């Protein structure tokens, strides 16, 4: 069995002592990815800005782990207003334009901390780095 590896990203820190993601073998599971700006650490006011940041965090996390969005198996989104999915769907379609090659997705209502309007977590199956 492979050993677990914690993955952290600059500008993406949790208030609690947890990594951005963990990997065992080919499997990568993220913690909560928020819409916080990675440079200023401010939470943008709009869902549009927060969604853009979430998807930027997803790309950065996968790159740091040796993968890409093509390796995502499932994404779960927690939304302060689950009826407001326009910004989420815009970023989703930009990342996954081919309907035949999209990961599974779930969006659920959530009470989020502070000014957060969206959280995301994901499960990815990454390529073998030795291959």
Instruction: Please state the domain count of the chain.
Output: 1
Q: Domain holding 38: CATH number?
A: 3.30.1330.40
- What's the pLDDT tens digit per position in 11-38? 777 777 889 999 999 999 999 999 999 8
Decide if 59 is inside a domain.
yes
Average pLDDT of the chain?
A: 93
- What's the pLDDT tens digit per position in 106-121? 999 999 988 999 999 9
Decide if 130 is inside a domain.
no
Helices (H) and strands (E) in the chain, counts: 2, 7
Structural domain that includes position 120:
5-10+18-125
**Residues in contact with 29: Cβ distance below 8 Å, sequence separation at least 6, in sequence order:** 21, 22, 23, 121, 122, 123
pLDDT above 70: residue 1: no
- Residue 41, phi then psi, degrees to nearest 5: 65, 10
What mean pLDDT do residues 68-97 have?
97
Decide if 40 is inside a domain.
yes
Tokens linked to 63: 């790159």
């Amino acid at each position: 069995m492979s050993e677990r590896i914690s993955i952290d990203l600059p500008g993406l820190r949790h208030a609690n002592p947890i990594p951005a993601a963990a990997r065992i073998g080919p499997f990568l599971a993220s913690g909560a990815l928020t819409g916080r700006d990675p440079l200023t650490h401010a939470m943008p006011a709009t869902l549009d800005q927060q969604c853009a940041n979430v998807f930027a965090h997803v790309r950065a996390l996968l790159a740091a782990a040796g993968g890409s969005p093509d390796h995502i198996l499932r994404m779960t989104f927690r939304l302060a207003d689950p009826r407001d999915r326009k910004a989420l769907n815009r970023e989703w379609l930009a990342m996954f334009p081919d309907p035949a090659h999209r990961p599974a997705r779930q969006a659920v209502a959530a009470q989020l901390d502070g000014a957060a309007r969206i959280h995301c977590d994901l499960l990815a199956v990454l390529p073998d780095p030795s291959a």
